[in-house]
Amino acid sequence: GGIGASGRLPVSAMPFYQCGDGLDTRGGIRLSFTTPEMAGLNGEFLRSRIDSISQAGITAGAYPGCEVLAVRNGQVFFHECYGTHTYESDRQVDRNDLFDLASMTKVSAVTPAVMKLYDQKKLKLNDRFCHYWPDFKRTDKARITIREVMAHVGRLPGWIPFWVDTREPDGSYKPNTLEPDSSELFPVRVSANLWRYAGYDSVIYQAIRDTQVLKRKRYVYSDLGFHIWPKIIEQLAEKDYQDFLQEEFYGPLGANDLVYNPLQKVPLERIVPTERDTFFRMEQLHGFVHDEGAAMLGGVSGNAGLFGKAIDIAKVFQMYLWEGMYGGERLLSSSVISEFTRYQYAPTGVRRGLGFDKPSIDNLQLSWEDSYPCPSASPKSFGHSGYTGTFVWADPESGLLFIFLSNRVYPTRDNNRLSSLLIRKSILQTLYDAIED
């Protein structure tokens, strides 16, 4: 479906086929592959710039390796990998490797699921969140709406360190929290060497319920509502959250390497490691989610937990750019995508959509330093970053789609060179600068 075909017989093949017989197949309905020039970009300029920026990040120690993918109007015109899985390893980053997507989970899993339920009229954006999550009734969160949670203006605190309350003063684990071995009572895997008590979900949700909301309505990026979303999605869809994603999106898109808990489906060597955790799990994280909150939920959460490769993320976001269509099938209504990807609270200075991040308000008038995600990103564009060193951005006006995957948190989250060197911003701006048509 990436490229159409219209072959015809040059001669008759009696008695069954006549000269000129043939079949037409429709193209341009899935991602296809081309050169930068065929996509309307200066290939020599962008290759040299992206190679230089990506390699400079490795040299500076911003990350051991990365993957860069760029698409225009449904045509993949650049897809390269750089560096290795770790600084000590000689295993090269490969296009089939899976990265921990961190908060890109929000726009690649929970948000499309919420969009689908909204499309099916199973929820309303201005409904109170407690209508679908009764835990919030008769609390200071009772008036928060779905729209406010999705746009991070619901007065919810940013996060809760759930794991802290599992420890005794001497460092041992409290009863019914965590154990180093699995059992009938501890079936939920948190990491390679840590298992969680079966009923601890309720403790996490109670902690969210009991936290105090902020005093005034303002933008605070919060994971708390997104921890809850998979449960609400299961209730409304009447099926398992991951099954819902697979049936409604990943299956039709052919994005079958977008997965939670990837070790259940792919070999360890295909997964890029993240941090050497020295304060919670006390191990090298490899194949298990980096985010502590998602880990405490067994690796499946709405804020983080999804692993994937660039081409599969591209399929999800190309579907957004094609207004809900992919492979000749409508997965979402165009009006739903327009609603979720627009500014929700721009008059108050908040740049967020619903689930999606957006450019800075008045981005085209801002300086290089103040712009986000880069000076040329249009007001209609949208995307999201991930704490582990990931990024996706889509622009309906230019047709550009950009994905950057890295493991900048290896070996420690304290490394912030990816941001300070403006690597993702520089590559994205390079793509805009390379457009010639």
Provide mean pLDDT across the span 57-63.
99
187, 198 Cβ separation under 8 angstroms: yes
Residue 127 shares a structural domain with residue 271: yes
Task: Tell the burial category of 88 from Cβ atoms under 10 Å away from its Cβ (0-12, 13-18, 19+).
Answer: exposed
- The residue among 247, 278, 307 that closes a domain is 307
Within 335-414, strands assigned E span 382-386, 390-395, 400-406
Question: At CB < 8 A and 24+ separation, what contacts does 61-65 make?
Answer: 61/87, 61/415, 61/417, 62/406, 62/408, 62/415, 62/417, 62/418, 62/421, 62/423, 63/389, 63/406, 63/407, 63/408, 63/410, 63/418, 64/89, 64/407, 64/410, 65/92, 65/93, 65/272, 65/406, 65/407
pLDDT of residue 197 exceeding 70, the answer is yes
What does the pLDDT look like over 328-373, one tens digit per residue?
A: 999 999 999 999 999 999 999 999 999 999 999 999 999 999 999 9
Which pLDDT does position 24 carry in this prediction?
A: 47
Our measurement of the distance from residue 381's CA atom to the centroid of its chain's CA atoms, rounded to an integer in Å, reads: 15
Name the DSSP class of 397. T
Name the DSSP class of 248. I
Q: Cα(427)–Cα(408) distance, rounded to whole angstroms?
A: 16
Residue 142 shares a structural domain with residue 172: yes
- The residue among 307, 341, 375 that closes a domain is 307
Within 346-407, strands assigned E span 382-386, 390-395, 400-406
Does residue 349 fall inside a structural domain? no
Name the DSSP class of 172. P
Owner of token pair 């951005």: 393
Which pLDDT does position 8 carry in this prediction?
A: 54
Structural domain span for residue 265: 100-307
In CATH, what number is assigned to the domain containing residue 127?
3.40.710.10
Which pLDDT does position 23 carry in this prediction?
A: 54
Residue 64 shares a structural domain with residue 109: no
Residue 41 shares a structural domain with residue 154: no
197, 185 Cβ separation under 8 angstroms: yes
Does residue 387 fall inside a structural domain? yes
Residue 197 shares a structural domain with residue 230: yes
Share of the chain above pLDDT 90, in %: 93
Instruction: Indicate the average pLDDT of the chain.
Output: 96
Q: Cα(219)–Cα(148) distance, rounded to whole angstroms?
A: 9
- SS3 percent helix, strand, coil of the chain, rounded to 5, is 35, 20, 50
For the chain, first and last CA: distance in Å? Answer: 25
Q: Cα(381)–Cα(399) distance, rounded to whole angstroms?
A: 10
| Structure tokens given for 65 | 């390796």
Number of domains in the chain: 3
77, 41 Cβ separation under 8 angstroms: yes
What does the pLDDT look like over 376-403, one tens digit per residue?
A: 999 999 999 999 999 999 999 999 999 9
**Nearest CA among 32, 28, 38, 78 for reference residue 404:** 78
| Structure tokens given for 310 | 């660039």
Task: Tell the burial category of 399 from Cβ atoms under 10 Å away from its Cβ (0-12, 13-18, 19+).
Answer: middle
Does residue 46 fall inside a structural domain? yes
Q: Cα(273)–Cα(92) distance, rounded to whole angstroms?
A: 13
Does residue 341 fall inside a structural domain? no
Q: What's the residue count for the chain? A: 437
pLDDT of residue 233 exceeding 80, the answer is yes
What does the pLDDT look like over 136-158, one tens digit per residue?
A: 999 999 999 999 999 999 999 99
Does residue 317 fall inside a structural domain? no
- Residue 13 binned pLDDT confidence (cut-offs 50, 70, 90): confident
366, 351 Cβ separation under 8 angstroms: no
Helix, strand or coil for residue 98? Answer: strand
Does residue 352 fall inside a structural domain? no
Residue 21 shares a structural domain with residue 40: no
Residue 140 shares a structural domain with residue 205: yes
Spatial neighbors of 362 by CB under 8 A, at least 6 apart, are none
Provide mean pLDDT across the span 77-86.
99
Residue 281 shares a structural domain with residue 430: no
Residue 2 shares a structural domain with residue 55: no
**Complete DSSP assignment for 209-236:** HHSPPPSS------SHHHHHHHHHHHHH
pLDDT of residue 411 exceeding 90, the answer is yes
In CATH, what number is assigned to the domain containing residue 78?
3.30.450
Provide mean pLDDT across the span 167-192.
96
SS3 assignment for 174-196: CCCCEECCCCCCCCEEEECCEEE
285, 275 Cβ separation under 8 angstroms: yes
